[in-house]
Each structure stands twice: as structure tokens, then as C-alpha cells.
Amino acid sequence: MTTPTRPETDAGPHAVSVAVDVAAPRAHVFDVFTRQTSTWWDPDHHLLDDTVDMEVDLRAGGSITEVDAAGNRCTIGRVLVVERPARFAFTWDVSPRWEVETDPARCSEVHVSFVVVDERRTRVVLEHRHLGRHGDGWKGMRDAVGGADGWAVDVRRLAEVAGA
């Protein structure tokens, strides 16, 4: 189940949410999400051309970094929360022009919950919050990450990669 929605939360129109059920235990899904990010992240969703790896420094304050074939690096987020295997959150340091955003006040947040459905299934709920912080162009970003080619693609790929 992949369900893109605009949730009725305190964030209102400044958030998008997607969910997917994964045929695997929660700890495994968490580990694939955080430690094998390049296996499920859509190759068309990178700031660097020719990105070959995604590195997640799995600690609060750590970074999420793209690495291209030449070894160039681009930090696209900062880790906010690591509560293995239940929750992971990071900043989205990408501007509405799809460039690195260097002002932390203009960055949104991505919160991911890993919910046990049963011992062999996990529901992943990804909520991209505070998109209004990006300023001019935030609605376009909301529509892009919340559309059929946004986070919905990535969580479907996660389900395929992590599924048992």
C-alpha cells in the first residue's frame, strides 16, 4: 500500500505524507532505510549528477550525503532523530531550486516512522514537514515531493528492496 496524502495535521498544507507496507520485520526495514539508502533512493532524485552512493551518518547531528563517481560530495540533510527501529528524522537541506540550502532556517524536515503491522510486516510512514520554511517556491516543492514521482516512488522502491 502506497498512499500519498496531504495530512490534516498541525502542519496543514506545509506537509506531505506517504505510507507503504513492507513485507519484512521493522528492524530490517529501518536498517535498509538508513544503511542502504542508495539501494532504494530514486536515481533521478539526486542533486549531483552520477551519484553512486548515499551515506548516512547514523547519529543525531550526522549528515546525509550524496557521493558521485568522481568522489564529489553533497550534503542534503542533517540527522535529527535516530530511534532504531521505530523512528528516523532528518532535515531536507534542498532549496526549491533543487540546490543545497545552507540556511538551516529554510530547511524542512522528513520524519519516518516504522510501525509493526505483524512480525513479518512493517508500515513505513514518511512525513515531509515544514515545507513552508523554504520560502518562495515551497508550494512547487510540496507538489513535487508529494506527487506521484516524489516520495511515493522512493517508498515503493524501499518496499521492493527491503521486502522479504
Q: The domain that contains 81 carries what CATH number? A: 3.30.530.20
Domain range for 109: 12-162
Question: Global pTM?
Answer: 0.92
**Chain segment 5-54, per-residue pLDDT in tens:** 434 444 467 999 999 999 999 999 999 999 999 999 999 899 999 999 99
Q: HSE-up of 17 (CA within 13 Å, CB side)?
A: 17
Give domain status of residue 44, yes or no.
yes
**Chain segment 64-122, per-residue pLDDT in tens:** 999 999 999 999 999 999 999 999 999 999 999 999 999 999 999 999 999 999 999 99
| Cis status, amide bond into 85, omega within 30 of 0 | yes
Amino acid sitting at position 100: V
Give domain status of residue 134, yes or no.
yes
Give domain status of residue 21, yes or no.
yes
Instruction: Tell me the three cell numbers of residue 69.
Output: 563517481
Give domain status of residue 140, yes or no.
yes
Give domain status of residue 1, yes or no.
no
